[in-house]
Every structure is written in structure tokens, then in C-alpha cells.
Structure 1
Amino acid sequence: MAQNPPYKICFVPRSKEEEEEDEKIYKRYSEIVATLPTKEGWWGKPIYQYQGFWYNSGAFGVGPLAVQDHFKPRPTDVLVASIPKGGTTWLKSLVFAVLNRKSHPPSAQHHPLLIFNSHDLVPVMEMMLYSNILNGNRIPRLDILPSPRLFGTHMPYTSLPQSVALSSPRIVYICRNTKDTLVSWWHFTNKMRSNNSLEPMELEEAFDRFCKGMTSPGPFWEHVLGYWKASLERPQNVLFLKYEQMVDEPALHLKRIAEFMGCPFSSIEEEKEGVVDQIIKLCSFENLSNLAVNKTEENGSGFPNRVFFRQGKVGDSANYLSPEMMDQLDRITKQKFHGSGLTL
């Protein structure tokens, strides 16, 4: 039987008065969401548009609103940010392993990544911490967590709480090329639809929705651009990573991540022991996808861990998208990113 993931300690017992207050807060958020534009969702529940981006009401609930009001970052926090299917699961594993390598050496027999899915070790704030859907209208007490705290988010940069800009936690963002992101999202969608006893979605429909920006939380291009611009304006606080480059040179980028987070691989002992290579091996697709926890169990989001692993290959979209689809995505990407200096 699976253990409770570490973040669950944030949901401490509360007084009746505190419970009632949380209920009122979440009721107000639900009332706001009820007034927002909605569209048919990807796997059964509607998506709603908030501050220009689309959210799955069945997964996020009112979480983005709660994060904005209640998340109080510390300067020592690290946020792993991404749009879904951009390399999130891998990046979370790497960041966790790097940040905790002193207390949990990557060669340890009982390393947390061998016991928990990385989404349980780096919980998505707006889903696993602040979502009324998953946590029953309870506001987590994140202040009880020791520093450095490690959280995930799919929220766009422009929707993060104002407090993030003021306290300047470090944000590590990953993105993937447009075509592979779409195909990975489509496969993920159909796994979730199957899990919910729904018929598969045709690729053409997924393509049309993606191009219209109705992924969760999309539009894809605006999400990526928000973090790209932030990384240029505040390079000491936002690290922008490309999935394809990380696949090509994992050791180089792992060292960049460690340096950025303030825990560089600097000791002769670490070099001698091959810690960088150990972390890369621990967090590899081959290793993580074959673990029992990632084959048979669910994480705190309620998703089966197996849905987060398919192939992880670069360029696999060419096996699914027609030349016309690929050309259209390239045109949209070129148009959206024009003048930004960003290419995917």
C-alpha cells in the first residue's frame, strides 16, 4: 500500500471555526469561476478561462484563485513550472534529486524517487495543494514545511501571485517543441478519457483545440512566452530550459539547474563519486517508468502514475502529424514568437 506523500502533512487538523472559514473562502472562489467562460473539456469536465488561460475544472477546480490569494513564497522556495507534457515529470525528478542530494544520495536504496512519483514529491500547487476538488475546501498550512520548499505549477507566469515577484523564489521552467507537446498531450488525454470510460479523441480534434489555445492551461504559446520574457528580465530568478537541449546534454543542464538553485556541484568528492551521472541515471525515463510505484499506483492528483510515461522521445510527433499539421504549427509558432528571440 502506498505511503502518504510528504506534502500531506500540510493538511493539519483544524478547529471548526477554521474549517468554516475555509468553506466560505472556497465558496466565494466557486462563485467567481461559475461566471467565467467555459468550453467542453478534454476528458469529461469543462474547462474555464481565467485571466486569459484555460483550466480543467475537474483537476484544478478553483485552485488558481486560491494560490493567488494564499500562497506565501519564501526566497528559498523553488518552483518547477511548465505547461503539461513539456517534460514536467522528468524535470521534477531532477530538481528534487539535486536539491536533496545531501539527505538523499542518488545511489540510496530507498531514495524517495523510488517510492513516490515525482508529482507527489513536487506537488502542483493549484491542483494538489489548493484545489477544492482534491482537498475538500481546505487551505494547506505550507508554513510548517522546512526550507527549501519545492513546489510545482502549471500556472502562467502572469497569473502567479504578486508575492512571487516580491519574495523572488527561484523558478525553473521547462518547455518542449510545439509539435511534440501536442502529440504527447493528445496521448495523455486519451489515457485519461479511457480512465473515465470515454471514447478516444481524434487527433484532428485535439489539433484544432490546441491551435485555438484551448489546452489546460493554454494557450501554449502565451504560456511559454510569459516565462521566456521573465527569464530575460529576471535571469537570477527564472531559469528557462528546453526539453530537447536537456535530452542532448543532460549533465550540462543538470549543472546549470544546480548552480541556479544555489547548490552547485562543486566538491571534488561529488565529482569523484559521479553524483551527476547517478542523478541522471536515477531520473532517467527507463528507470522511472519501470518502477512499481509508476506502474501500479496513483499520485495525489488522482491520476494513475503510468499516464505520465509514454516514450519521452524527441521528434515522435512526425509519426502522427500530417505534413500540413506540422506546417500549420510551425507557422503559428513563428508568428507567435516573432520578435521575442525564442525558437522551439
Structure 2
Amino acid sequence: MEKEGELLKFKGFYFQSSVVDYDILEKLEDFEIRDNDIFVISYPKSGTVWILQILCLIHFEGYRNKTDTRPLNLRAPFLEYNVSHVDLEKTPSPRIIGSHLPYYLVPRGLKNKKAKIIYMCRNPKDVMNSFFHFSNMLKVFQPTNTMEEFMKKFLEGKGNFLEF
């Protein structure tokens, strides 16, 4: 792992260091996958949260009938950006887990178990446009003055989570 500003480069992939859990990254390869896990994997701004929300409506009756009022990040946490510190090992099945990991970084068991994987993709131009506006809207992101400046970082692979 090497740090470049607020970005963390781990095995060739950039993460936002202030919200990623280093221990999770180190243990990703051996994360225990259950056969009934459901993973939603995508590049950011590709519709991940929409699909996670739909899956929660399908799978969790308590959420549908409004007796479960937990926020989405507790019902369907992200694997590598588990900002709410959900203990995925103790989470009952079926687990719904989001991720923005590239294929080569996903847990080994995800490649050979029966877990379900929903892979989201979206036109890269739309992703970049959405991410540009999203990152300029939130104060935690370092704003980018122009689309050209943002596109340069995006094409360098640093568009995933820009410096905060």
C-alpha cells in the first residue's frame, strides 16, 4: 500500500484513504463468501445504490412493511467502504453487499462459490459526467474546475475517489 495524498494505492487500485478500512483491504482475498450472498459490483456512479435499494425491498420484509427503518448502508453495506462498521461475519443470510472493487481484488471465494453477482455497468461518459457533478456537489470531495481536468484524473484511474 502506498499513499498518494488522500488516495491509497492498493495493488494498483486507488481508494479514498479516509473512508476505506485498511484491515478489510488486507483480508479481502480471504473474506468468507456464503452461497446465498448477493453482491452488487460496479464502478461508482453506475446505479449501485439503486440496485441495492431494490434488492432490499425484495429481500427484507421488515423493510417493505416499514418495521425495519435501518438506513441502506446498514442493510446493504459496501465491502471495502464499510463506513458504518457492519460486522459482515455476524450479519444473517442472505447478505446483500455492494462493492466497487475491480475483479482482480474481489475475495477469492466470490470466484468459485455460488454467491449471486449483479454486475452494474453504465456508459463511461455518463459515469464520468455523473461523478464530475457528484464530486463538485459534495464538500468532502476536492472540486474539479473543469470537465477536462476531471477527465484527466478519471482516465488515470484516479477518478474513482478523488482527493478529499
Q: TM-score, normalised by structure 1?
A: 0.42
Q: 1:117 to 1:146 in 2, by over 3 A?
A: closer
Structure 2 counterpart of 1:160, from 106, 110, 113:
106
In the other structure, the counterpart of 2:25 is 64
Structure 2 counterpart of 1:201, from 124, 144, 164:
144
Contact 2:8 2:16 in 1 (8 A): yes
Contact 2:35 2:115 in 1 (8 A): yes
Report deviation, 1:57.
0.9
**Which has a greater percent of strand?**
2
Report deviation, 1:212.
1.9
Q: 1:146 to 1:117 in 2, by over 3 A?
A: closer
In the other structure, the counterpart of 1:179 is 125
Residue type matched to 1:68 in 2?
E
Q: 1:205 to 1:125 in 2, by over 3 A?
A: same
Q: 1:105 to 1:160 in 2, by over 3 A?
A: closer
Would you say how many aligned residue pairs link Structure 1 and Structure 2? Answer: 160
In the other structure, the counterpart of 1:215 is 159
Q: Which has the higher contact order (CA 8 A, sep 6+)?
A: 2
Q: 1:143 to 1:208 in 2, by over 3 A?
A: closer
Q: TM-score, normalised by structure 2?
A: 0.82
Report deviation, 1:185.
0.9
Report deviation, 1:116.
4.2
Report deviation, 1:67.
2.6
Residue type matched to 1:81 in 2?
I
Coordinate RMSD, CA, aligned: 2.6
Structure 2 residue 45 is matched with structure 1 residue 85: yes
> Which runs of 5 or more residues in structure 2 are unaligned?
none
CA distance in 1, matches of 2:37, 2:109: 12
In the other structure, the counterpart of 1:119 is 73
Q: 1:195 to 1:48 in 2, by over 3 A?
A: closer
In the other structure, the counterpart of 1:54 is 14
Contact 2:28 2:105 in 1 (8 A): no
Contact 2:36 2:95 in 1 (8 A): yes
Question: Which is greater in Rg?
Answer: 1
**Which has a greater percent of helix?**
1
Contact 2:21 2:82 in 1 (8 A): no
The secondary structure found in structure 1 opposite 2:36 is coil
CA distance in 2, matches of 1:191, 1:105: 29
Identical positions, percent: 26
Structure 2 residue 94 is matched with structure 1 residue 148: yes
